[in-house]
Amino acid sequence: MQESFSMSAGRHLHDAQILLTEHRWDNAVYLSGYVVECSFKVLIEQYFNQLNGATSAAKKFGHDLTKLEDKAMERLRTIYPILDKQLPSSRIDDTVLANDHPVRRYASSNLWTKDQATISVIRASEIYMSIIPKLVLDGLILSQDI
């Protein structure tokens, strides 16, 4: 099976937005976490793989959003200083996205509130929009891959 972090990010964002409108807060938050994870992994995949030709750099970080945002993004900012302005740090810190991803998929229902879900989906969308379209415009990923 061929993986596509960029397609997955877009698909999860679309579904999270639908779930939010359907008052399915828990799954909207859950999928928002995957939007962020996949968006960060697209960056890792593009920039780390360019650097050393590796193909599994993104998998090394697993599903840990905090580790992806902190360790992986900090490495990218160091190696590619131009990304420092494009990758604001702590984008998920004030949201529930920083908590329990991806194990929240097993949580009991009604864990997250409407406000938490709304903020999560909005933040996931902002992160997606700050990363994916730029990579398309820069020619690093194809538009049909989103």
What pLDDT, on a 0 to 100 scale, did the predictor assign at position 85?
65
pLDDT per position in the chain (146 positions), as tens? Answer: 567 889 999 999 999 999 999 999 999 999 999 999 898 888 888 877 666 655 566 677 777 767 777 777 777 777 777 776 666 566 777 788 877 777 777 877 888 999 999 999 999 999 999 889 988 888 888 788 77
What pLDDT, on a 0 to 100 scale, did the predictor assign at position 27?
94
Q: How far apart are CA 146 and CA 137, in angstroms?
A: 12
What pLDDT, on a 0 to 100 scale, did the predictor assign at position 55?
54
Establish how many alpha carbons lie within 13 A of residue 116's alpha carbon, considering only the half-sphere containing its beta carbon. Answer: 17
Q: How far apart are CA 144 and CA 116, in angstroms?
A: 32
Give me Rg for the CA atoms of the chain.
15
What pLDDT, on a 0 to 100 scale, did the predictor assign at position 10?
96
- pTM beyond 0.85: the answer is no
The 3 state secondary structure assigned to 66-81 is HHHHHHHHHHHHHHCC
What pLDDT, on a 0 to 100 scale, did the predictor assign at position 53?
54
What pLDDT, on a 0 to 100 scale, did the predictor assign at position 108?
79
Phi, psi of 56, rounded to the nearest 5 degrees? -120, 20
User: Closest by alpha carbon to 83, among 59, 53, 51, 56?
Assistant: 51
Q: Where are the domains of the chain?
A: 5-145
What pLDDT, on a 0 to 100 scale, did the predictor assign at position 28?
96
Domain 5-145 has CATH 1.10.3470: no
